[in-house]
């Protein structure tokens, strides 16, 4: 019994160390300020503050990688959320989106937060300060709606890709 426990322990240790060899990509590509959402849209500072606090870690190139993002298997999960998050919505490269995509992303921002799908609930467990208050929710949904309507105007050229 004792011997098998010892081997179980050794196996867990070896596997635990072994998986550390597979490190995910944790890069923060450099940010071109002229391409951020802040440069190409009307974003009031209070809206920017909410994005920076609650969304940036997965939806920008300014991810703050937490300590557990260096330890497998948590590292894989965190990196995967960041990769997928950046693919779906990247506040750092917003200017690269075509107008239709911007309009659609603005709609999704409102929908996702209204439905409490974003910020990801598992993220909020570890980052309680990223929780959106009722007034944050109101602020972001109203802002997204206003910007959506402004861009969606048939003669609006503002959202065009430069």
- Sole binder of ligand HEC in the list 38, 40, 59, 75 (CB under 6 A): 59
Q: Cα–Cα distance between 130 and 73 in angstroms, integer?
A: 23
In sequence order, what are the residues at sequence separation of 6 or more whose Cβ sits closer than 8 angstroms to the Cβ of residue 130?
53, 54, 57, 119, 123, 124
Q: Tally the residues of the chain.
A: 162
Q: Cα–Cα distance between 72 and 131 in angstroms, integer?
A: 26
**159 contributes a contact to ligand HEC by CB under 6 A:** no
Q: For residue 130, give the nearest of 140, 139, 112, 118 by alpha carbon.
A: 118
- Sole binder of ligand HEC in the list 37, 58, 72, 151 (CB under 6 A): 58
* Residue 94 C-alpha from the chain's centroid: 13
- Sole binder of ligand HEC in the list 19, 62, 74, 81 (CB under 6 A): 81
Residues 13-52 within binding reach of ligand HEC (CB under 6 A): none
Q: Which residue has the tokens 């606090």?
A: 53
Question: Closer CB to ligand HEC, residue 6 or residue 146?
Answer: 146
Whole-number minimum distance, CB 144 to ligand HEC, in Å? 8
Q: Which segment (11-19, 27-35, 36-44, 80-88) binds ligand HEC by CB under 6 A?
A: 80-88
**147 contributes a contact to ligand HEC by CB under 6 A:** no
Q: Which residues here bind ligand HEC, judged by CB under 6 A?
A: 54-55, 57-59, 81, 84-85, 88-89, 105, 108-109, 112-113, 118-120, 123, 132
């Amino acid at each position: 019994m004792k011997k098998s426990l010892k081997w179980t322990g050794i196996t867990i240790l070896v596997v635990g160390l072994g998986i550390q060899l597979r490190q995910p990509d944790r890069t923060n590509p450099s940010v071109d300020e002229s391409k951020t959402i802040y440069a190409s849209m009307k974003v009031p500072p209070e809206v920017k503050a909410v994005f920076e606090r609650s969304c940036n870690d997965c939806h920008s190139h300014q991810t703050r990688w937490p300590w557990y993002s260096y330890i497998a298997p948590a590292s894989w999960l965190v990196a995967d959320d960041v990769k997928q998050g950046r693919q779906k919505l990247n506040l750092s490269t917003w200017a690269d989106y075509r107008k239709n995509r911007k309009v659609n992303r603005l709609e999704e921002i409102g929908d996702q937060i209204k439905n409490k799908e974003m910020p990801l609930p598992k993220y909020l467990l570890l980052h309680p300060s990223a929780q959106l208050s009722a007034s944050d929710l109101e602020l972001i949904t109203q802002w997204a709606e206003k910007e959506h309507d402004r861009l969606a105007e048939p003669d609006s050229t503002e959202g065009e890709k430069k």
